[in-house]
């Protein structure tokens, strides 16, 4: 069914392309400019969205083997993701139950036991406490009650989600609204992690707005790649998750000339021709396809920074196949270009616009009828913030 859905979207794009139209929403939306810089609003977003919503914290290929682990700080929460001997993922608070010391430094490695570097307490791959240093001196405790704090984790479509609230009642699969079936068409579980980079950016919503916005492409990116690109976009929704694609379909070519696809043979199109556009995973990821050293995607993992004015984006350059030496050079060139575009065009512009908004002289910002994806995004931000812990799981019922 997923391929049929991709074909359905491609044919809908063609319909609009032939008519010179796009998908519109009913009205222009205005939201308070303070939503981008007010500290209280930002703190609510961190606490009520990022700490209650499933977050993409990695890709499966980072830790593919039994014993592999990834340690990462997410909004001040140290997280340890492990793959056990059965190949299943587990997620824990990266903190010893004795005094809270981190078991491992941030990064990727392989081990089946985790020893605390402070006092030597040891934990198994299932998070259980299996060893206490000098137990005869420490005293008697029930080890079964002192396992690592477990966090909800889900692995789908080659992507890893974690909720930063241990006792969350959110059903992570329902949160995806079936979107993972389409993401699975990328087949990222088999892709090569070529490289990652971290960029500092503007307020997280400014950055996310840009993921959903094709309206700016021929203007902001006129000197890099956007000069001849349409500013129209068709959004498709699965709950808070969206795909944004241009109605004017073409297939990028490594030969330098774009190819107009043959819609009469759409059932024969390869998947990469059907997977174009930008795929966003609420609240912190975008995925876009590229050709650089072979078929590739840029997966951008977005996190709020330490205040409303900043965010940090980890860019993953993922490749369908492990590159040879020549392909490595091409991939590095493409990744350098993408880093430049995001850092020096998108994020630099976002940081500047924040200065204008923070003056307080602009009451509201606008999203036009042609910016339905942005309207949907901000609608979900408000909806989640205004939903209690008890009612949150009900938001994600299909």
What CATH number is associated with residue 142? 2.102.10.10
pLDDT in tens, 129-142: 999 999 999 999 98
- If asked whether residues 136 and 198 sit together in one domain, one would say no
109 and 191 together in one domain: no
User: Do residue 77 and residue 186 come from a single domain?
Assistant: no
Looking at the structure, do residues 32 and 126 belong to the same domain, yes or no? Answer: no
pLDDT band of 261, cuts 50, 70, 90: confident
What is the model's pLDDT at position 253?
Answer: 43
268: confidence class by pLDDT, cuts 50, 70, 90: confident
CB 71 within 8 A of CB 162: no
Has this prediction a pTM greater than 0.75? yes
Domain boundary among 139, 169, 199: 169
Task: Tell me how far the alpha carbon of residue 316 is from its chain's centroid.
Answer: 10
Q: Is 397 helix (H, G, I), strand (E, B) or coil?
A: coil
379 and 247 inside one domain: yes
Q: How many whole angstroms separate alpha carbon 357 and alpha carbon 191?
A: 41
Give the CATH number of the domain where residue 26 resides: 3.90.380.10
Calculate the average pLDDT of the chain: 93
Query: What pLDDT was estimated at residue 247?
Result: 82
**CA 325 to CA 316: how far, in whole Å?**
19
* 148, 87: one domain: yes
**Does 92 share its domain with 231?**
no
Range 182-206 average pLDDT: 96
Name the one residue in this structure whose structure tokens are 């490695």. Answer: 109
Beta pairing class for 278-281 and 129-131: unpaired
User: pLDDT at residue 258 above 80?
Assistant: no
Cα 328 to Cα 296: distance, rounded to the nearest angstrom: 12
Q: What is the pLDDT of residues 326-370, one digit of tens each?
A: 999 999 999 999 999 999 999 999 999 999 999 999 999 999 999
Beta carbons of 151 and 164 less than 8 angstroms apart: yes
Domain that holds residue 379: 2-53+178-395
277: left (phi over 0), alpha (psi -120 to 50) or beta: left
Q: Are 135 and 214 found together in one domain?
A: no
pLDDT band at 230 (very low <50, low <70, confident <90, very high): confident
The mean pLDDT value for 322-329 works out to: 95
The total number of structural domains in the chain stands at 2
- Looking at the predicted structure, is the pLDDT value of residue 396 above 50? yes
Task: Say whether both 132 and 182 belong to one domain.
Answer: no
> pLDDT by residue (tens digit) across 79-132?
999 999 999 999 999 999 999 999 999 999 999 999 999 999 999 999 999 999
149-177 pLDDT tens trace: 999 999 999 999 999 999 999 999 999 99
In a shared domain, residues 46 and 72: no
pLDDT at position 227 is 76
User: Among the three residues 147, 169, 191, which one is the final residue of a domain in this structure?
Assistant: 169
Domain boundary among 144, 169, 194: 169
Whether residue 316 is found in the same domain as residue 351: yes
Does one domain contain both 219 and 291? yes
HEC-encoded secondary structure of 262-297? CHHHHHHCCHHHHCCCEEEECCCEEEEEEECCCEEE
The predicted pLDDT at position 250 comes to: 55
Residues 301-315: pLDDT tens digits?
A: 999 999 999 999 999
Q: In the numeric block, which tokens belong to residue 393?
A: 């799981």
């Amino acid at each position: 069914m997923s391929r049929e859905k991709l074909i359905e979207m491609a044919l809908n794009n063609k319909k609009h392309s032939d008519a010179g139209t796009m998908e519109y929403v009913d009205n222009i939306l205005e939201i308070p400019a303070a939503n981008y810089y007010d500290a209280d609003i930002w703190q609510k977003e961190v606490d009520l969205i990022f700490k209650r919503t499933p977050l993409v914290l990695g890709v499966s290929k980072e830790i593919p083997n039994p014993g592999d682990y990834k340690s990462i700080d997410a909004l001040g929460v140290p997280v340890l993701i492990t793959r056990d001997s059965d190949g299943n993922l587990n997620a824990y608070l990266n903190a010893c139950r004795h005094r809270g010391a981190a078991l491992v430094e941030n990064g990727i490695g392989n081990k089946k036991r985790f020893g605390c570097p402070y006092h030597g307490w040891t934990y198994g791959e299932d998070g259980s406490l299996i060893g206490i240093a000098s137990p005869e001196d420490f005293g008697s405790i029930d080890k079964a009650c002192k396992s690592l704090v477990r966090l909800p984790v889900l692995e789908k479509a080659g992507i890893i989600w974690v909720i930063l609230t241990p006792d969350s009642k959110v059903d992570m699969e329902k949160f995806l609204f079936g979107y993972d079936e389409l993401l699975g068409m990328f087949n990222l579980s088999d892709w090569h992690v070529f490289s990652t980079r971290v960029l500092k950016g503007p307020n997280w919503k400014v950055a996310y707005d840009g993921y959903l916005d094709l309206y700016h492409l021929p203007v902001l990116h006129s000197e890099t790649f956007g000069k001849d690109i349409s500013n129209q976009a068709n959004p498709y929704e699965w709950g808070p998750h969206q795909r944004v694609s241009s109605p004017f379909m073409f297939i990028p070519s490594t030969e330098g000339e774009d190819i107009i696809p043959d819609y009469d043979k759409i059932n024969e199109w390869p998947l990469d021709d059907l997977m174009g556009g930008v795929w966003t995973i609420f609240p912190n990821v975008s995925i876009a396809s590229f050709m650089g050293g072979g078929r590739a995607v840029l997966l951008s993992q977005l996190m709020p920074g330490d205040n409303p004015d900043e965010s940090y984006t980890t860019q993953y350059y993922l490749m369908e196949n492990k590159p040879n030496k020549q392909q490595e050079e091409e991939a590095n060139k493409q990744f350098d270009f993408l880093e430049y575009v995001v850092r020096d065009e998108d994020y630099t512009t976002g940081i500047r616009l924040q200065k204008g908004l923070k003056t307080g002289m602009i009451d509201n910002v606008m999203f036009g009828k042609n910016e339905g994806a942005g309207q949907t995004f901000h609608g979900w931000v408000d909806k989640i913030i205004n939903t209690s812990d008890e009612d949150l799981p009900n938001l994600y019922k299909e």
